[in-house]
Amino acid sequence: AQTVTQSQPEMSVQEAETVTLSCTYDTSESDYYLFWYKQPPSRQMILVIRQEAYKQQNATENRFSVNFQKAAKSFSLKISDSQLGDAAMYFCAYRSANPSYFGNEKLTFGTGTRLTIIP
Partner 1 sequence: ETGVTQSPTHLIKTRGQQVTLRCSSQSGHNTVSWYQQALGQGPQFIFQYYREEENGRGNFPPRFSGLQFPNYSSELNVNALELDDSALYLCASSHPHVETQYFGPGTRLLVL
Among 25, 35, 68, 94, binds partner 1 (CB under 8 A): 35
Cα 48 to Cα 63, 93, 100, 103, 114, distances in angstroms? 10, 11, 27, 23, 15
- Position 98 contacts partner 1 (CB under 8 A): no
Q: Is 108 in the site for partner 1 (CB under 8 A)?
A: yes
What is the identity of the amino acid at 112?
G
Identify which of residues 1 and 119 has a Cβ nearer to partner 1 in the complex. 1
101 binds partner 1, rule: CB under 8 A = yes
Q: Is 64 in the site for partner 1 (CB under 8 A)?
A: no
| Closest separation in Å from C-beta 26 to partner 1 | 15
CB of 58 to partner 1, least distance (A): 17
Is 113 within 8 Å of 48 (Cβ atoms)? no
Of residues 116, 107, 112, 119, the one with CA closest to residue 22: 112
Among 46, 55, 81, 83, the residue binding partner 1 under the rule CB under 8 A is 46
Q: For 77-86, b where at least 16 C-beta lie within 10 A, e where not — what string?
A: bbbeebeeeb
Return the percent helix, strand and coil in the chain, to nearest 5. Answer: 5, 50, 45
Which one of residues 8, 20, 22, 33 is an interface residue with partner 1 (CB under 8 A)?
A: 33
By the criterion CB under 8 A, which residues form the site for partner 1? Answer: 4, 33, 35, 37, 42-47, 50, 52, 91, 93, 95, 97, 101-112
